[in-house]
Amino acid sequence: MSSKKILILNSNDNVGIVISNITKGDVIFLNEEMISATSDVSFGHKIALKELPVGTIVKKYGVPIGVTTTDINPGDHIHVHNIESLYMKQYTK
Amino acid sequence: MLKGYLRKDGKKGIRNYTMVAYTVECAHHVAREIQYPYRESGVHVIGFHGCAPNDYANEMMQALCTHPNVGAVLIVSLGCENLNKEALEKEIIATGRLAKTITIQESKGSRTSINLGREWVEEQLQVLQKQPLVDMPMEELIVGTICGGSDATSGITANPVIGKVFDSILSQGATAIFEETGELIGCEHIMAERAATPELAKQLVKTVDKAKDYYMKMGFGSFSDGNAKGGLSTIEEKSMGAYSKSGNSKINGIIKPTIAPTTNGLFLLDVVPDGDPMFGWPNANDNAEIAELIACGSHMVLFSTGRGSVVGSAVAPVIKICANPETYTNLVEDMDVNAGKILTGEASLDDVANELEQCVIDVANGELSKSEQLLHQEFQLAYKKFNELEPGCLPG
């Protein structure tokens, strides 16, 4: 049932959206491959589907949503700690 | 065929509300006291807090007091403020509506003003009650949309559902308005491909660029800590989700607050002020944008929320579409439609779009939305400054 843990909105995306809370070590089956979550990732957050070296454009909905600020491994949680906007910084507490 | 109230200016409303409109914060308490006994009878309070003059505030008050959902307006003034209450009253009367101004400084004071106001409101309610409903074709309906308290579910459930309903009602001849150019940053080029004319395509990109420059000067994008907790990482990620509310239809024009669409079709409302930042953030909160959607003629507003907003609005009904299944469970009292069902597999996007479209028709025909039932009548109007629309923004 692990495949139902994420949603991939567009075939060009390099991230999936977590639709059921993921625990570190959970295995997620993609079409022909599988990835293993490297940390807990909560509902609504994103997880890397492949290796994304620093400077890679992150794609969701098939369009750029930011750029990686560090090297990212498949199964890593993708969020404000490792990607940033291509446009402007934003406020977080 | 929908049912509505025909106004003397030829427009039709889906509600027959009375406004108590204060013209400076100093008159707010008296206005609220006048309204209180009638707050469940379609009497709403709107107003402007500022004393210093502002064209935008004057225009917003005029647009809202002559909105098709409004049948009568009581203006409550302190007496020395700068909002142009004389022009406001004149404009309301010119559109054939019932209007009166109470000036507190000339009425013995607060208590007498409250009593006079309640007497007048009571009389108008009797008059408005007798007004018959008339047929209102879909072509005369204007629907606005906003998202607030977004999370990662907003862009994959509730917002695409609203987009589908927009496509459907637009195909039936209705008019639809989407907004918040600061939350379209990153979508400008794909949005421009949907423009009705090449001139409009350029203006769509320019409008989003203006928003980007404005927010850059303010230091941050339109992105809250709650957005990040909900899984959104960047403004452009949030934007893509917000953009999906606009559906796939052709974009017919760009409007600014208080400018009504000049034809049927889909319009982008540019809410970001022109020029350098002067009065602060483009919009302090969602209700400021809702008031602007309504001031452009929206009969109702479709509000998508993932984190869970509970607001409604004065002047026009707000329908809340909850994107997140967990939030829906937590806020079931406030949500009209559960789009979270899409994520739990209980319904498809099309199922929920059909449910929302039926809800739009029911609310247009007088059924109360959840926020109306709960007497959510929030209203926010701040200082702003806009230039005229540039050529190419409006059709024709």
Q: A90 to chain B: which residues are within 8 Å by CB?
A: 220-221, 223, 228, 234-235
User: Would the pLDDT of A2 be above 60?
Assistant: no
Q: A48 to chain B: which residues are within 8 Å by CB?
A: none
Q: A5 to chain B: which residues are within 8 Å by CB?
A: none
Min CA distance, B220 vs chain A (Å)? 5
pLDDT tens-digit profile of A66-91?
Answer: 999 999 999 999 999 999 999 987 66
Distance CA B87, CA A43 (A): 53
Distance CA B341, CA B282 (A): 33
Nearest to B237 among A7, A65, A93 (CB): A65
Whether A24 has its CB under 8 Å from any CB of chain B: the answer is: no
What is the separation, in whole angstroms, between the first and last Cα of chain A?
35
Inter-chain residue contact B236 with A65, CB threshold 8 Å: yes
What number of other Cβ atoms are within 10 A of residue B223's Cβ? 27
Whether B237 has its CB under 8 Å from any CB of chain A: the answer is: yes
Q: Which residue of A has its CA nearest to B221?
A: A90
Q: Which residue has the higher pLDDT, B205 or A5?
A: B205
Domain locations in chain B? 2-134, 138-373
Nearest to B223 among A9, A60, A90 (CB): A90
pLDDT of residue A1: 37
Using the structure block, give the residue that is written with the tokens 């247009």.
Answer: B364
Inter-chain residue contact B186 with A86, CB threshold 8 Å: yes
* One-letter identity of residue B232: L
* Residue of B107, B34, B27, B15 whose CA lies nearest to B61: B27
Task: Report how many Cβ contacts below 8 Å link chain A to chain B.
Answer: 89
Inter-chain residue contact B212 with A84, CB threshold 8 Å: no
> Which residues of chain B register pLDDT less than 50?
none
What number of other Cβ atoms are within 10 A of residue B130's Cβ? 6
Inter-chain residue contact A88 with B190, CB threshold 8 Å: no
Whether A8 has its CB under 8 Å from any CB of chain B: the answer is: no
Min CA distance, B319 vs chain A (Å)? 23
Per-residue confidence at A59, pLDDT binned at 50, 70, 90? Answer: very high
Whether B326 has its CB under 8 Å from any CB of chain A: the answer is: yes
Q: Which residue of B has its CA nearest to A60?
A: B237
pLDDT tens-digit profile of B135-182?
Answer: 999 999 999 999 998 898 999 999 999 999 999 999 999 999 999 899
Contact assessment for residue B269 and residue B257, using Cβ atoms and an 8 Å cutoff: yes
pLDDT of residue B219: 83
Best of A65, A77, A80 to substitute, by most chain B Cβ atoms within 10 angstroms, is A65
The CATH architecture of the domain made up of A2-84 is Roll (2.30)
Inter-chain residue contact B231 with A45, CB threshold 8 Å: yes
Per-residue confidence at A4, pLDDT binned at 50, 70, 90? Answer: confident
- Relative to beta strand A46-48, strand A63-68 is unpaired
User: Would the pLDDT of A3 be above 60?
Assistant: no
Min CA distance, B190 vs chain A (Å)? 10
Nearest to A61 among B216, B240, B324 (CB): B240
What number of other Cβ atoms are within 10 A of residue B217's Cβ? 9
Whether B215 has its CB under 8 Å from any CB of chain A: the answer is: yes
The CATH architecture of the domain made up of B2-134 is 3-Layer(aba) Sandwich (3.40)
Instruction: Decide: residue B102, CB within 10 A, 0-12 exposed, 13-18 middle, 19+ buried.
Output: buried
Distance CA B244, CA B236 (A): 13
Rounded to whole angstroms, what are the CA distances from B151 to B69, B220, B384? Answer: 32, 18, 28
Inter-chain residue contact B220 with A90, CB threshold 8 Å: yes
Best of B157, B159, B220, B236 to substitute, by most chain A Cβ atoms within 10 angstroms, is B236
**Rounded percentage of chain A residues whose pLDDT exceeds 90:** 75
Whether A88 has its CB under 8 Å from any CB of chain B: the answer is: yes
pLDDT of residue B205: 97
